[in-house]
């Protein structure tokens, strides 16, 4: 039976674990390998790891780091960062990663999604859409390269296109809500969910289990991803890798489904 997934999202910069606010002001919060070890003990549903500088710096995937993460991880692992070819995606899957995330490259070349799906299977292809709301009219655009380049395209349009090309999952990531810990952007989540038939994961803004409950209550079986919620604790944002117990997750999901 399908159920909502509660997913920590770890951002990596220079092999270190960081957390951003609005895709800026990256704060170092530790070693990603240590974080994976802790999440193993907490029986996490799934884990997303994104190398946030690979594309902007013109680098490919860091296979050495990916292999270390995959060897350590006892949960399904999704990796993204610098993936530009089907061969790179296949190599990442070969290291023991379950899913490969593509962002900028999928926008630049939608056929890449098809190529990766053919190489590793549609179920292993995740397209990440970084979205931002326009101040003038409240509509959304998809941005790339760490929120530096505006494609001028709507999340719904891009989600539908990437699904046609073979995406098995869409992650919609709110730039505006990133690190704010004030709740998810339900409006953009609804637009993407309505535009596609593949699983959708929402990222950006979760600050409590209540926020996850509200997302599940609105959309049912969905991926609820978060960064700050699972690496910080308390109003002073002290670094503490944490994750709700199975009982807490089940209660939140049961009360909202």
pLDDT band at 8 (very low <50, low <70, confident <90, very high): very high
Please state whether beta strands 77-80 and 140-144 pair in parallel, antiparallel, or not at all (unpaired): unpaired
pLDDT of residue 1: 56
Exposed / middle / buried, residue 110 (Cβ in 10 Å: 0-12, 13-18, 19+): middle
Enumerate residues 6+ apart whose C-beta is below 8 A from 171: 48, 101, 126, 127, 128, 129, 200, 201, 202, 203, 223, 225
pLDDT 10s digits, 224-243: 999 999 999 887 789 999 99
Residue 257: what pLDDT? 85
Check: pTM over 0.85? Answer yes or no. yes
pLDDT at 2: 77
> Mind listing the domains of the chain with CATH numbers?
5-256 (3.20.20.70)
Number of Cβ within 10 Å of residue 191's Cβ equals 20
Question: Could you identify the residue written with the tokens 């409590």?
Answer: 208
Tell me: pLDDT of 144 over 70. yes
Write out pLDDT tens, residues 69-114.
999 999 999 999 999 999 999 999 999 999 999 999 999 999 999 9
Tell me, what's the pLDDT at 14?
93
One DSSP character per residue, the chain reads ----EEEEEEEEETTEEEEEETTEEEEEEE-HHHHHHHHHHTT-S-EEEEETTTTTTT----HHHHHHHHHH--S-EEEESS--SHHHHHHHHHTT-SEEEE-HHHHH-THHHHHHHHHH-GGGEEEEEEEEE-TTT--EEEEETTTTEE----HHHHHHHHHHTT-SEEEEEETTTTTT-S---HHHHHHHHHH-SS-EEEES---SHHHHHHHHHHHSS-EEEESHHHHEETTTTEE------HHHHHHHHHHH-
d(CA 57, CA 72): 27
Choose, from 45, 53, 130, 178, the residue flagged as catalytic.
130
Average pLDDT of the residues in 121-126: 98
45 among known catalytic residues: no
């Amino acid at each position: 039976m399908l159920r909502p997934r509660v997913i920590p999202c770890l951002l990596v910069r220079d092999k270190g674990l960081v957390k951003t606010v609005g895709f800026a002001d990256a704060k170092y919060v530790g070693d990603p390998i240590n974080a994976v070890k802790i999440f193993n003990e907490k029986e996490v549903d799934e884990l997303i790891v994104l190398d946030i500088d690979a594309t902007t710096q013109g680098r490919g995937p860091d296979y050495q780091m990916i292999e270390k993460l995959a060897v350590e991880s006892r949960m399904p692992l999704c990796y993204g960062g610098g993936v530009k070819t089907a061969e790179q995606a296949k190599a990442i899957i070969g290291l023991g990663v379950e899913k490969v995330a593509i962002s900028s490259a999928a926008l630049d070349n939608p056929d890449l999604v098809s190529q990766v799906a053919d190489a590793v299977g549609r179920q292993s292809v995740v397209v990440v859409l970084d979205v931002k709301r326009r101040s003038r009219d409240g509509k959304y655009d998809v941005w790339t390269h760490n929120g530096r380049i505006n494609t001028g395209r709507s999340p719904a349009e891009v989600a539908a296109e990437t699904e046609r090309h073979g995406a098995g999952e869409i992650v919609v990531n709110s730039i505006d809500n990133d690190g704010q810990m004030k709740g998810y952007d339900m409006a953009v989540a609804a637009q993407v969910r309505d535009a596609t038939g593949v699983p959708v994961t929402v990222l950006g803004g979760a600050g409590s289990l209540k926020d996850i409950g509200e997302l599940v209550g609105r959309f049912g079986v969905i991926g609820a991803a978060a960064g700050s919620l699972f690496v910080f604790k308390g109003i002073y944002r002290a670094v503490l890798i944490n994750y709700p117990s199975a009982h807490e997750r089940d209660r939140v999901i049961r009360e909202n489904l």
